A and B are shown apart, each in its own frame.
Chain A
Amino acid sequence: MVRIKYRYLLCEVCVSERSGLQMLAERPIYDALRAALGKAHGAHGAALLSVGSSVTYVNAYTGVVLLRFRKAHYRLLWSALPFVTSIWSRGQKVPCFFNCVHIGGTIRTCQKFLVRYSRQQLCRMLPHCKTEAEKQEVRRAVLSCSLNKFREEEEDNDFGEDGEETEA
Chain B
Amino acid sequence: MDEEPSSYERVAYKNDSVYHYMKICLIFGNERKPLSAEQFKQLIISGLKELYGEVGAAFPFDVLTFDQFVLSAILRVYNNGLVKLWSALTLIGSCENESCAFRVTQVSSSVSKLILVLKSTGTSCRSL
Contacts and interface: CB of A to CB of B under 8 A. Distances in A.
Interface stretch (B15-23, B36-44, B52-60): B52-60
Contacts of B50: 42-43
Contact of B54 (A40, A43, A44): A40
Interface string B48-78: 0111111110000000000000000000000
Main secondary structure of the interface of B (DSSP, over half): helix
A79 B54 CA distance: 12
Size class of the A contact interface (CB-based, 8 Å) = 10 to 19
A39 B50 CA distance: 9
A45 interface: yes
A63 interface: no
A21 to B, nearest CB: 29
Contacts of A38: 53
Interface of A: 37-45, 79
Interface of B: 49-56
Given A40-B54, A42-B52, A45-B53, 4 more contacts: A41-B55, A44-B51, A44-B52, A79-B55
7 contacts: A37-B53, A39-B54, A40-B55, A42-B51, A42-B56, A43-B52, A45-B53
